[in-house]
Structure formats: C-alpha cells, structure tokens
Structure 1
Amino acid sequence: MFEEILKAVACGIILALTIGPVFFVLIETSVTKGFRAALSFDLGVIFADILFILVAFFSTTKILEKVKDDPNLLIFGGALLFIYGLISFVKTSKSFRKIIREHRSVTIKKNYFELFFKGFLLNFINFGVLGVWIATIVLAESVTSSPNGVVIFLSTVLLTYLATDLLKIFLAKKLKSKLTPRRVFNMKKIVSLIILFIGLGLVVQGFFPSGMAKVQKKIEKTTQYN
C-alpha cells in the first residue's frame, strides 16, 4: 500500500506541474489577487476534476474509449478555450486603456464565488482533462490490488495536486510586491494569449489527429536519440 501511495503522490505532482491553461491562470490569480482568491479558483478546478473522475469511474469501457478518442470533443473544447482567451485578452486591453485614459488606480476585484466558477469552467471545458483522468484511473487499477485501492489512489492524487498547487500559489504570491499596474495587465494579456493558443492547438489536433500523432512520434524519437 505504501508503494501505491508513493506512486499516487508522484502522479499528483506531475498533474499539478503540467503546463496548461489552469497552470497559468492560477499563477496569475495568485500574483494579482492573493492567496485566498487563487485558492478559490483552484477549488473550482478540483471540483471539475472530481466530476471528470466520477464520469470516468462510472462509465462503461466502450463509452470511455469513444469519448477519449473523439476529435470532436477536442475541437469543441479547443474552440471554447480559444473564445475564452480572446474575450479575456480584449477585455483586459480595453480595461487598461480606460484606466490610463482616466488616470484611475487599478482596483483588483475579489469575488471568490466567481473565481471558483472560473476555475471550474476553465478546467471543465478542456475535455483533454477527461482523457488524463481516464488514464489515471487505468494506472490506479494496474498498480493496486486492495478493495478500495483505486479510491485511495485517486484521493491521494487529488490531495497531492491541491498541496502542490498551494505551494505554487504561495511562491507566486511572493512576486506581488514587484508588480506595477502595467505589469499586472501585461501578465493578464500574456495568460489570455496562452489560453488562446492552447485552444487553437486543440482545434488543430481535433481536425488533424493523424498528423498530430505523427508529430508526437517524431518528437519522441528525437528525444530518445538525444
């Protein structure tokens, strides 16, 4: 059991450090709005993860295989991320220009429920996350033999995920004192663009799944040779 928990901890750390839309928004929220705001956002993310786990856990194998390999979900989720990033970029740019024009100070809003919903939505519309949890459940079933092993494994993954995110939030918060209003808005715009391009990448992957698979294989071969 101890070895299984260690594997679950390692899995949770890897998932928490995976570079994606949530990673960047979590850091940006921590830096600009503080610890409690970032925690509210992160709890929304984890709530979406729990829903994905429940869907994956209680669905049949055939449904999971169909959902996991359906390019339409990548296209739909990628399009939503693209739109989210575009709207966020435009709103941030307009807000900054308005503040500069009117010579007003920057007011950082902290609606914790809204941040929770934002974290939930941003994670939930990324259907690639469902594939990740399906793979995690398969891993849990392969490494554990105890009756409640899968539940313990997944619970450990989620707790480790949260603990790692708390560490990221704490470290990112240290940067807050170095931020000027211009830097805050530049960070928000950069994060919006990152989400936009991740969404675009998912759409391309959905339209050209075979081409993306070939690219991934070439990258793997290059990595092996190096």
Structure 2
Amino acid sequence: MFEAILLGMGAGLISSFLTGPVFFAMIKTSIERGFKAGFSLAVGVIFSDIILIGLVLFGSQFLEYQASFDKYVGIIGGIFLFAVGIYYLFSTVSISYEENKIVKVSKRGYLLKGFLMCILTPSTLMFWIIVTNIISIKLNNMFYEKLLCFFIAMATQLTIDGLKSYYSSKLRYRIKESSLMMLNKIAGVIIILFAIWLVTKTYIKFY
C-alpha cells in the first residue's frame, strides 16, 4: 500500500512537470487570464489523463491495439495543436492591472481546451502506457493497489498544477501587455513547431 502511494506521487510529479505545449499553455493562461482559467485548463488535463489511464487499464482487454490508431491520433492532434499555435501567434492580449477587478473567464472553454490538448497528443498516451507497465510490475499487478496509485497520481498532479496556476497568476499584475504579446508569440511558435513535428513524424512512420 505504501509503495502504491509513493509510486502514485512520483508519477503525478513527473507528469505535472513534463514540458510541452500543455505545460506552456497552462503557465501562459494563468498569467494572462488568472488562476481560474489556468486551473480550469489543468482540470481538463486531469480528465484527459483519467480517460487515457482508463483506456490503458481496461481497454486493452476489449480492444486489440493496432498501429493505425497512432496515425489518426497523430494527424488530428497535430492539426488541432497547429490551430492553437496560430491562435496564440496572432491573438491580441489585454490584461487588467486592477487587483479588485473580476475578470470573467469561460471555465468550460479552458477545461475543454486542456482536455483536447492533452488527449490529442500521442506522447501523453505513450507516457501512461509506460507508467502503467512499470506500476503493474512494481505492484505485482494488484488491481486495487494500481487504482490507488493512479488516484494518488492524479491528486498529486492536480495539486501541483493548481500551485503552478496560482503563483503564475500572481505575476500578471507585474507584467506589461507587450511582454504578454511576446509570450503569446513564443507559445504560438513552440506549439506550431510541436504540431509540425508531430504530423511529420506520423507521416514518415505511416506513409
């Protein structure tokens, strides 16, 4: 039981600090739109991870894996991330410097954005496949201990992502709009490059 808790905390810690489009988008969103927006995006990522973990744990016994699945996920995910990158690259930024002013954000929109960015990235599925295999070996394939382990992992990841969103949002009152515009463009370029790499890798592998 104790080993399951430690493994879960380790998996959640690693997952939370994996760099990539989702990590960068979470920091940027928290700075630009505040804690609620950033945390909503983080919750969307958690929902996505839960589904992926469920597919890995339960889906393998009902569905025979085929390599062609990676092709569709890679292309669709690349197109989606490319669109997100273009949006960041050309979108304008406005920020309130009044600490008492409430900025309305679409929590559902950011939740959906985090969900789609995570679930349409094949590397996330691969990460959880690897982690699940390691956990299964360490816990001697004990089903209930694996469930506890992944529950701890998700709780750890959400806690760390919440802290990242909270402290990132505190910086927005000290950052000028010009700096956020530059951050937008950097985020856009990074996500576009990642999307191009993803589609290119998928194309080379299958075509």
Instruction: Give the secondary structure class of the aligned counterpart of 1:167.
Output: helix
Partner of 1:198: 194
Query: Partner amino acid for 1:20?
Result: G
Superposition CA RMSD, Å: 2.4
Unaligned runs of 5+ in 2: 97-102
Work out which of the residue numbers 112, 115, 123 in structure 1 matches 2:110.
115
Larger radius of gyration: 1
Q: Distance in 2 between matches of 1:185 and 1:64?
A: 46
Query: Partner amino acid for 1:112?
Result: K
Work out which of the residue numbers 127, 133, 137 in structure 1 matches 2:132.
137
TM-score by length of 2: 0.84
Partner of 1:152: 148
Displacement of 1:21 after TM fit? 0.9
Partner of 1:25: 25
Partner of 2:80: 80
Aligned residues between the structures: 199
Displacement of 1:109 after TM fit? 5.2
Q: Identify if the C-alpha distance between structure 1 residues 11 and 46 changes in structure 2 by more than 3 Å, giving closer, same or farther.
A: same
Tell me if 1:125 matches 2:127. Answer: no
TM-score by length of 1: 0.78
Unaligned runs of 5+ in 1: 97-104, 211-226
Q: Distance in 1 between matches of 2:51 and 2:186?
A: 29
Whether the 8 Å CA contact 1:140–1:154 is kept in 2: the answer is no
Partner of 1:100: none
Whether the 8 Å CA contact 1:21–1:194 is kept in 2: the answer is yes
Partner of 1:55: 55
Q: Distance in 2 between matches of 1:32 and 1:87?
A: 14
Q: Distance in 1 between matches of 2:4 and 2:21?
A: 29
Tell me if 1:167 matches 2:149. Answer: no
Q: 1:33-52 maps to which residues of 2 (within 5 A)?
A: 33-52=33-52
Query: Partner amino acid for 1:117?
Result: L
Q: Distance in 2 between matches of 1:14 and 1:68?
A: 28
